[in-house]
Amino acid sequence: YKEKLPELSCRLRFNYRCHSDILELPSMLFYHGKMVASRTSNIQPIKWRLLGPRPTFPVIFYAVQGHDEQANDSPSFYNASEVEAVTGLVRDLLDQCKAQGIT
């Protein structure tokens, strides 16, 4: 439709929901570097042991060993080991927030 009706095409320019480090790659790949993070609030990083040496970087990589499973009545797959790992990470993060007075 972009070629036939260019007046109906528009691109996201300002993203108010995402950290600039997370937006960098999709901005370069899909928006020619023109999409920018536009958060208005000053968000302070928490002290969380899993953030490693770069506590202000908004992404962690966490290896999980598991396998895909599928319920008989569903076309979707899930990985119970990943579910357990994410649940544990979220609980740990919430505990750290609570300990630091972050609600």
Contacts of 85 (CB under 8 A, 6+ apart): 62, 64
Asked if residue 28 has pLDDT above 90, the reply is yes
Asked if residue 4 has pLDDT above 70, the reply is yes
CA torsion sign, 38 to 43 to 48 to 53?
A: positive
Pick 41 or 63 by higher pLDDT.
Answer: 63
- Each domain of the chain, given as residue ranges in start order, spans 1-43, 44-103
Summarised one tens digit per residue, pLDDT across range 49-89 is 888 888 778 888 899 999 999 999 999 999 999 999 999 99
